[in-house]
Amino acid sequence: MADLQALADAIIGGDQSTAVNVTKEAIEEGMGPDEVLNNGLVAGMAVVGRKFKNNEVYIPEVLIAARAMKGAMELLEPELVKSGVEPKGTVVIGTVQGDLHDIGKNLVAMMLKGAGFNVVDLGVDCSPDKYVQAAKESGAEIVAMSALLTTTMPAMEKGVKAMKDAGLDCKVMIGGAPVTQGFADKIGADGYSEDAASAVDLAEELIA
């Protein structure tokens, strides 16, 4: 019988080959893909997220855990689709126009996937129109914008305005090193997160 605790531990330790092997074993045994997702992958990433918040692990460890999870998810995703398991919600994510930094954005995307969200990753240098189009096409409940440069923060304000002008009902969350709660309030964003683990909590609050 596939050991889902071993799968969670493999994610926490960033052991990709074990994560993939246990996931494969669970699928071959006919275990429910939602059970593998929630009790293995999500459980493991939740521990990583908690440790990251408490400064017990740092970005490199989170990225290694995320890579292990990605390997397992590649096997699990087709099974989730086949079984009709619904994601918690859809999040469109990208780094704003003029900004090419993506480590923080990638981290948030992986944490959201690990928490059971469907994630549409637009990459970097995203124009307001690109967010609007992706949100319309995917029916996203949340649009997440990232910026690392103070010079690109005004692009977030343009993004929030574009969503409102398009009459979209989705929530907008923002984050990145120079971003603050005060700035989020000023531009009319629905939420701000200071790190990747908190971003998952915020996304869950916003769709609740």
pTM (two decimals): 0.83
What pLDDT sits at residue 196?
83
**Is residue 94 domain-shared with residue 78, that is, in the same domain?**
no
- What does the block give as tokens for 78? 């087709």
CB atoms near residue 138 (< 10 Å): 16
Those residues of the chain that have pLDDT short of 70 are none
Q: Which of 67, 83, 99 is the last residue of a domain?
A: 83
**Is residue 96 domain-shared with residue 72, that is, in the same domain?**
no
Query: Residues 13-44: pLDDT tens digits?
Result: 999 999 999 999 999 999 999 899 989 998 99
**Is residue 146 domain-shared with residue 71, that is, in the same domain?**
no
Q: What's the DSSP call for residue 152? A: G
Q: Report the number of distinct structural domains present in the chain.
A: 2
**Is residue 137 domain-shared with residue 64, that is, in the same domain?**
no
CA end-to-end span of the chain: 35
- The domain in which residue 47 lies consists of 4-83
Report the alpha-carbon distance of residue 178 to residue 150 in Å, rounded: 6
**Is residue 27 domain-shared with residue 42, that is, in the same domain?**
yes
